[in-house]
Structure 1
């Protein structure tokens, strides 16, 4: 017996759009990188993205806005600057194996704006490497990928997930203080604690979270008690219980945050 609802195209447009909206559900979208793309291939191969001089065409034009193109001297100065200040691509290309089923349904569903094409290109969508996202409900999981890769779309991300070791010096001294605060619109963060709850504990207060600490979920996938998911206060209580220490009260928690 066929499950196809053949009269669907004859329904009023408002009803069809409402039905398409009902197909949208929160997803955890694993987002990775395709490849770094500076002009100098050796720089991409042997250096870390945080060491690149990321100069887009837009930023180049801003830097040279006082240099006229109407004079020979101005054009010569711009040419020299362009030769010395190479126009790198903005970091990386996004790639994800997850494509919402609604996107495959029909053009009407795609055009309704349920999902947006997001790429590293400054104009969002002109890059051939892109992912489909609904930023309001999708949890973007970047795994262990450096936050610096996602700087071009940091303002776009509202729900973020990543995996880190609290003892990693780069995370502790640089990434959590310089890269993490750039995600100014993030409302919720999921942190996979690669070195366990017991190594995080009160260290969570050391980082410049762009959202309230109460909106952060800590995940321990290697605990002797199995897969654990907890807010900060609950994580601290679990950690103290395992270590035989006294756990913080709700009042102490409110004073700390």
Structure 2
């Protein structure tokens, strides 16, 4: 049943324009909510019907809607905590993003992050790397530019291939981040890194931040369910050997490539 005019009127705060300007500004700033902004990469193509010989280079694009708070009024647009960012050098497009709340999701070829500026990379706190077409063997090449993401708090790797081809990625990324930023004395903490199988909903995660402030002899991983918060899973641990960190190729070659799936089962309710 569609809401009546009376119901819609009851949800409207008519006195809002009469509030002090300072209070209205605070409300506009608090109107932001966490979003997942998905980035795709448009492949290169040869022109269009009007210009068939004009080569259109690949560029980043997204299909997410602009936050509603930016459409309310001039005051909301001015006070809302969003910035125009992720301007691709090959396209004038931009994205409204809140670096404090939003998660940026890179799909397949969009993971080649050389198109982003150093300032944009340093500002991001949460990213998702979604792989549905890229071969796992090219993972180390695709994440080479993550060494510019120095302020990440969370990194999720989404795959549709199951855990077997991708089980090395969590340990690989953890050692890579420790190699890139572990020697800093500025209070840097390794981000939480997780691998999610989109078909089964299982997740392979790294330990909590309290265990990742410095390189260790090994990394404990936990397999858990990400379906419902109330679902019970049997925990399985897998310890990776210590690896000497020189470059991404060494990290990739020395990462574990198997996960004991047989040890994961549901507990009786």
TM-score, normalising length: structure 1: 0.61
Which residue, out of 92, 109, 116, partners 1:151? 116
- 1:243 counterpart = 2:262: yes
CA offset digits 1:72-94 (Å, max 9, x no partner): xxxxxxxxxxxxxxxxxxx7354
Using the TM superposition, give the Cα deviation of residue 101 of structure 1 relative to its aligned residue in structure 2, in angstroms. Answer: 1.4
Matched with 1:63 is none
Give the SS at the match of 2:69. Answer: helix
- 1:217 counterpart = 2:171: no
Name the CA distance, whole Å, in 1 between partners of 2:162 and 2:190. 18
Name the stretch that deviates more: 183-192 or 11-20.
Answer: 183-192
Name the CA distance, whole Å, in 1 between partners of 2:41 and 2:110. 10
Matched with 2:93 is 129
Q: Which has the larger radius of gyration?
A: 1
CA offset digits 1:90-141 (Å, max 9, x no partner): x73543322211111111111014111114257xxxx741111101110111
Name the stretch that deviates more: 146-155 or 25-34.
Answer: 146-155
Using the TM superposition, give the Cα deviation of residue 191 of structure 1 relative to its aligned residue in structure 2, in angstroms. Answer: 0.8
Using the TM superposition, give the Cα deviation of residue 219 of structure 1 relative to its aligned residue in structure 2, in angstroms. Answer: 0.9
Pick closer, same or farther for the CA change 1:23–1:238 going to 2, 3 Å: farther
Which residue, out of 7, 19, 44, partners 1:11? 19
Give the SS at the match of 1:32. Answer: strand
| Structure showing the higher helix proportion among its residues | 1
Using the TM superposition, give the Cα deviation of residue 204 of structure 1 relative to its aligned residue in structure 2, in angstroms. Answer: 2.8
Pick closer, same or farther for the CA change 1:100–1:238 going to 2, 3 Å: farther
Matched with 1:204 is 170
CA offset digits 1:219-243 (Å, max 9, x no partner): 11123xxx12342311392785523
Equivalent residues of 1:155, 1:182 under 8 A apart: yes
What is the number of equivalent residue pairs in this alignment?
190
Matched with 2:147 is 181
TM-score, normalising length: structure 2: 0.58
Which residue, out of 176, 181, 205, partners 1:231? 205
